[in-house]
Structure 1
Amino acid sequence: MFKALGLSILISFSGAVFAGGIADSHAEMSGCESCHEDGAPSDDGAFENEACASCHGPLKEFDSDVHNKHEGALLCNDCHVVHEEALAKDSCDNCH
């Protein structure tokens, strides 16, 4: 319940939150290791995707059709540009 509420709030303010960069806000928690194994990016992004799911939950548990429709088809970082100042929704144009 609290994850869904937090996600709803985050999505409501996503323009402001994501404009500063997702990586910056996560690195403030515990450095690059909060998302990357040993602080270094993986080759395929699988470790990072699991790191997202370990905190935020799997896509199928989100109260969002956008996330549910992409379960098993995309990794989190396919849409959420974490090391650039960009909105997650801007990534939709890459496929749609």
Structure 2
Amino acid sequence: MMSNKLLSALFAAGFAVMMSSASFAADENLADFHVEMGGCESCHADGEPSADGEFEFEQCQSCHGSLEEMDATHQAHDGMLMCADCHAPHDAVVGEKPTCDTCHDDGRTAE
């Protein structure tokens, strides 16, 4: 069985290749980027946001994997946060990564 570090490295490498070959505007937000993959329905049931965000969270995981399957930073938030809590799809720019101090002001850093 592959270790989590190896899986994370493979995911990061694949993502880097995808991002380098992807065609998107430098200031394109995540929602606009994902619309190109199937319209609003690629994230929202019937194109409308759900009341609790659970449907959207499941959609993120169906493509990107669960938080449990990701790196230590994501694993630490499993069961506490949904993807959009950190990766605000209508505000965040493609390629922009939130940092620990976005939410934590106590000096925490990703492992």
TM-score (norm 2): 0.67
Matched residues in 1 for 2:72 and 2:36: separation? 30
**Counterparts in 2 of 1:16-35, with a 5 A limit?**
19-35=27-43
Structure showing greater Rg? 2
- Selected match of 1:36 from 44, 47, 63: 44
CA shift for structure 1 position 25: 1.0
Matched residues in 1 for 2:64 and 2:35: separation? 16
CA shift for structure 1 position 20: 2.0
**Structure 1: runs of 5 or more not aligned:** none
C-alpha RMSD of matched pairs (Å): 2.9
* Sequence identity percentage: 42
Matched residues in 2 for 1:32 and 1:41: separation? 9
Matched residues in 1 for 2:73 and 2:32: separation? 24
CA shift for structure 1 position 93: 2.2
Q: Deviations over 1:44-78 (max 9, x none)?
A: 1000000001111111111x111010001000000
Structure-2 change in CA distance of 1:52 and 1:85 (3 Å): closer
TM-score (norm 1): 0.76
Aligned residues: 91
Q: Deviations over 1:22-62 (max 9, x none)?
A: 11111001000000000000111000000001111111111
The equivalent of 2:12 in structure 1 is 8
The equivalent of 2:103 in structure 1 is 94
Q: Which has the higher helix share?
A: 1
